[in-house]
Amino acid sequence: MTPGTPNQNAEPGTLNPERDSSMRSTYIQVLAIEAVIIAALWIFGRMFT
Amino acid sequence: MRPLDWLVVVAYIGWIVIDGLRRSKRTDEVDGYFLANRSLPWWAVGLSVMATQMSAVTIVGTTGQAYLTGLRFVQFYFGLPLAMVILSLTVVPFFTRARVYTAYEYLERRFDVRVRSLASLVFLVGRAASLGVTLAAPSVVMSAILGWSLPVTVLVICIPMIAYTTIGGVQAVAWTDVKQMFIVVFGMSAAIVILLYGILQHASFGQALHLAGATGRLNALDFSFNLSEKYTFWSGMLGGLFLMLGYFGCDQSQVQRYLTAKSIDEARRSLMMSAYVKIPLQLLILSCGVLVFVFYLFQTPPMLFNRAYDAQVAASPHAGEYAALQHAFDVEIATRREAATRDDRDAFLASDSRLKDVRAKAAAVVKQATGDRDYNDVNYVFPTFITTRMPIGLVGLMIAAIFAAAMSASGGELNSLATATIIDFYRRHFVKAASDRHYVLVSKLATVFWGLFACVVAMRAANQGSLIEVVNRYGSFVYGSLLGVFILAILTTRATARGAFWGLIAGIAAVLTVAIQLPWIEFLWHNLIGAVVVVVVGMAISYTQPPNDAVVVSATKL
């Protein structure tokens, strides 16, 4: 089954258990936020050491 | 602990146990007992994922670690967000579509039953040992607070946890986890407020930060590439990445969490919750430890936070020496406080250094007087602050949070041990065609067995240094190697069953060899070593076999 195609066997109104959407923007956001946190920790450490 | 505090503890624990059981539906069926009928919303799964990983060890051990060394431990989690992204793209859709109960079930489809059984056995051994350590942390706390013996304390924590996990299965575990996360975040935030209030009576916020920073406690990052340095940016990003991939991708206690989600999307969102929240949450907990250090610059801390041996030392031939150290400590504490108040950095650092020496000598005296070579007090710092400095009611809440953290993390692990035991061994090898009712009954017996086993391990694990390090050391023996097997399974088509089997054995042997012969290589790197050895040895053996031995069952190509 290819990602994103509806499950023909799912009953109407029920959640498709194989619903598989692209989450690329989420992944990028997560990694970007981590980079910001690491940068902030570096600045914070330099300020108070 | 006052009566109101006890009321808070008992009420909270009673509520989470009863409510967890109340929410459990169709637990007489295998799907309901092991996978919650694949019906849990992403936010509940996400909170359960985080709660399973964050036990009382995090609250007790991490704060103590931060008190001593500051924020450096946060680097341990730097590999986690990337690990969550990788897992969302790979194993989450794999396992969800494969409709497995355990991660190792998939290995039989890809390789053979030997690989599945070996991987599941490795998980069982590693997780059972780790579970014992997870239970030891709150037991140590309660034992010190109440003056109970350690075995009694372990049983008082274990029995409710074993009860609701046995009766309610994964649903009881998951809904208990949800509540635990809220109470932990609330409790840690309340602790920070209390700490800041206490600190600001004596110094400004900026001054407090400068004092913590002067001792290096606000230096979270170490960019040196040094295999002997425990927490560095590189060990976290690389070694930690492999640890997190192995733990969240190959450890049944985590895999079973996201198998309970309603869909692939919901399972992915649950992992992304950890990716967003884990590092800030860890910083919250570490900050608590650092603030406890600053707090005690202006209040008098005990010379040693672990007071379990006070009477024994006082009655020993070393009593005079200990008393002299206590006097020196009291004098130096006043000197350091004065230096901190007048913002004299050099005098403050010199006094702080002398205090470290006094504490080290005092710990050495305790070891000599008691024969306990593993004596340390890192895990008692935060509990001491809670029970001596927090207001009535909040003490009970914090103790409840510590208990809840222990129960929810260990409940998830316990449930996964039972699942792997029944699905990968009992049903696969012994009783292959029985009713759901039969398997659920045997699962409950397995849950009780593993729970009692963990109790025994907990009674022995209590004094093994910072418990959060002990837990991760145990894990690092196996996670990297298990990850290597799943890399062979999912990312290659050429790997054969024989290659995977012997590769896994080689990986574990390599890690054990490194741990014993090269102890200067810190444990985070063991994950990378294990994974690489498994893949290299596994592929090498696979290439000695004809290509058509690398059978890839079509159902696994997704």
Say if residue B326's pLDDT is above 90: yes
> To the nearest whole angstrom, how far is the Cα of B548 from the nearest Cα of chain A?
25
Contact assignment for A23 to B268 by CB distance below 8 Å: yes
> To the nearest whole angstrom, how far is the Cα of B174 from the nearest Cα of chain A?
19
Contact assignment for B74 to A19 by CB distance below 8 Å: no
Question: Do residues B208 and B117 both lie within one domain?
Answer: yes
Q: How many H helices and E strands in chain A? A: 1, 0
Say if residue B555's pLDDT is above 60: no
Does residue B154 lie within any of the structural domains?
Answer: yes
Contact assignment for A34 to B97 by CB distance below 8 Å: no
Last residue of one domain, picked from the residues B432, B460, B488: B460
Q: Which amino acid is at B303?
A: M
Say if residue A9's pLDDT is above 70: no
Say if residue B466's pLDDT is above 70: no
pLDDT band at B500 (very low <50, low <70, confident <90, very high): very high
Please tell me if residue B263 touches chain A, with a CB cutoff of 8 Å.
Answer: yes
Does residue A31 lie within any of the structural domains?
Answer: yes
**CA distances (Å), origin B123, targets B137, B172, B246, B251, B407:** 22, 22, 11, 7, 20
Please tell me if residue B219 touches chain A, with a CB cutoff of 8 Å.
Answer: yes
Overall average pLDDT of the B336-351 stretch:
93
Beta carbons of B157 and B134 less than 8 angstroms apart: no
Say if residue B157's pLDDT is above 90: no
pLDDT value of position B489: 93
Question: Do residues B325 and B364 both lie within one domain?
Answer: yes
Mutate to test the interface with A, among B84, B87, B263 (most CBs of A within 10 A): B263
Nearest CA in chain A to B84: A27
Question: Do residues B188 and B333 both lie within one domain?
Answer: no
Q: How many domains does chain A have?
A: 1
Q: What is the CATH number of the domain that holds B38?
A: 1.20.1730.10
Beta carbons of B84 and A34 less than 8 angstroms apart: no
Query: From the list B85, B88, B213, which residue is nearest A48 (CB)?
Result: B213
What residues of B are in contact with residue A18 (Cβ under 8 Å)?
Answer: 96-97, 263-264
Q: How many domains does chain B have?
A: 2
* Angle at CA of residue B162, ends B157 and B165, nearest 5°: 125
Report the alpha-carbon distance of residue B233 to residue B72 in Å, rounded: 9
Report the alpha-carbon distance of residue B41 to residue B25 in Å, rounded: 15
Last residue of one domain, picked from the residues B403, B429, B460: B460
Question: Do residues B250 and B328 both lie within one domain?
Answer: no
Does residue A26 lie within any of the structural domains?
Answer: yes
Most confident of B64-68, B131-135, B523-527: B64-68
Does residue A13 lie within any of the structural domains?
Answer: no
Domain that holds residue A46: 22-49
Contact assignment for A18 to B210 by CB distance below 8 Å: no
Overall average pLDDT of the B325-344 stretch:
94
Contact assignment for B265 to A20 by CB distance below 8 Å: yes
Contact assignment for A23 to B38 by CB distance below 8 Å: no
Question: Do residues B159 and B115 both lie within one domain?
Answer: yes
Contact assignment for B263 to A48 by CB distance below 8 Å: no
Question: Do residues B356 and B212 both lie within one domain?
Answer: no
Does residue B507 lie within any of the structural domains?
Answer: no
Mutate to test the interface with B, among A27, A29, A31, A33 (most CBs of B within 10 A): A27
Query: From the list B71, B265, B276, which residue is nearest A21 (CB)?
Result: B265
Does residue A11 lie within any of the structural domains?
Answer: no
> To the nearest whole angstrom, how far is the Cα of B132 from the nearest Cα of chain A?
32
Does residue A7 lie within any of the structural domains?
Answer: no
> To the nearest whole angstrom, how far is the Cα of B196 from the nearest Cα of chain A?
18
Please tell me if residue A10 touches chain B, with a CB cutoff of 8 Å.
Answer: no
Task: Name the DSSP class of B76.
Answer: G
What residues of A are in contact with residue B89 (Cβ under 8 Å)?
Answer: 27
Most confident of B174-178, B332-336, B460-464: B332-336
**How many contacts, defined by CB atoms under 8 Å, are there between A and B?**
77
pLDDT value of position B230: 81
Overall average pLDDT of the B217-242 stretch:
90
Contact assignment for A45 to B220 by CB distance below 8 Å: yes
Question: Do residues B187 and B332 both lie within one domain?
Answer: no
Question: Do residues B173 and B279 both lie within one domain?
Answer: yes
Does residue B523 lie within any of the structural domains?
Answer: no
Q: Which residue has the higher pLDDT, B499 or B158?
A: B499
Domain that holds residue B351: 309-375
Question: Do residues B210 and B91 both lie within one domain?
Answer: yes
Please tell me if residue A34 touches chain B, with a CB cutoff of 8 Å.
Answer: yes
What residues of A are in contact with residue B81 (Cβ under 8 Å)?
Answer: 30-31, 33-34
HEC letters along B155-187:
HHHHHHHHHHHHHHHHHHHHHHHHHHHHHHHHH
Last residue of one domain, picked from the residues B375, B407, B427: B375
Does residue A5 lie within any of the structural domains?
Answer: no
> To the nearest whole angstrom, how far is the Cα of A43 from the nearest Cα of chain B?
9
Does residue A10 lie within any of the structural domains?
Answer: no
Say if residue B456's pLDDT is above 90: no
Beta carbons of B9 and B145 less than 8 angstroms apart: no
Beta carbons of B509 and B466 less than 8 angstroms apart: no
Q: Which residue has the higher pLDDT, B138 or B155?
A: B155
The end-to-end CA distance of chain A, in Å, is: 55
Overall average pLDDT of the B256-284 stretch:
93
Q: Which positions ≥6 away from B109 have C-beta within 8 Å?
A: B98, B553, B555, B556
Contact assignment for B280 to A37 by CB distance below 8 Å: yes
Overall average pLDDT of the B369-396 stretch:
88
Q: Where are the alpha helices (DSSP H) in B70-112?
A: 80-89, 91-98, 103-110
> To the nearest whole angstrom, how far is the Cα of A12 from the nearest Cα of chain B?
16
Overall average pLDDT of the B111-131 stretch:
91
Whose CA is closest to B297, among B256, B351, B253? B351
Does residue B264 lie within any of the structural domains?
Answer: yes
Number of CB atoms found within 10 A of residue B227's CB = 14
Nearest CA in chain B to A2: B558
Beta carbons of B372 and B108 less than 8 angstroms apart: no
pLDDT value of position A4: 35
Please tell me if residue B549 touches chain A, with a CB cutoff of 8 Å.
Answer: no
Question: Do residues B259 and B317 both lie within one domain?
Answer: no
What residues of B are in contact with residue A31 (Cβ under 8 Å)?
Answer: 81-82, 85
Please tell me if residue A15 touches chain B, with a CB cutoff of 8 Å.
Answer: yes
Q: State whether residue B40 is helix, strand or coil.
A: strand
Report the alpha-carbon distance of residue B526 to residue B509 in Å, rounded: 11
Does residue A34 lie within any of the structural domains?
Answer: yes
Task: Name the DSSP class of B377.
Answer: -
* Angle at CA of residue B61, ends B212 and B155, nearest 5°: 150
> To the nearest whole angstrom, how far is the Cα of B31 from the nearest Cα of chain A?
15
Residue % of chain B over a pLDDT of 90: 57
